[in-house]
């Protein structure tokens, strides 16, 4: 898989993990982070910049991996 497709897969898996979770603060934090990332992308588009991928946030990697493992 390419870096772009891996990022897409990771993003979708994070959505799945959030949907099965029930912590409102964590869900809110994730939604707010997505909104901020989208605003940054819009700003880049307005400037004519190409979309760049930032470094992945690995803070919740363990929890996400655990949720994925439970679904398998």
Per residue in 4-63, pLDDT (tens digit) is 667 777 777 877 777 777 788 888 888 898 899 889 888 888 888 765 555 666 666 777
Q: Where are the domains of the chain?
A: 23-52
- Whether the model pTM is above 0.85: no
Burial bucket for residue 63 (CB in 10 Å: 0-12, 13-18, 19+): middle
């Amino acid at each position: 898989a390419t870096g772009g497709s891996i990022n897409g897969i990771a993003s979708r898996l994070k959505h799945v993990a959030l949907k099965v979770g029930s912590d409102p603060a964590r869900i809110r934090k994730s939604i707010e982070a997505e909104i901020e990332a989208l605003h940054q992308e819009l700003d880049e588009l307005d400037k004519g910049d190409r979309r760049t991928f930032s470094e992945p946030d690995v803070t919740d990697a363990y929890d996400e991996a655990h949720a994925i493992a439970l679904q398998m």
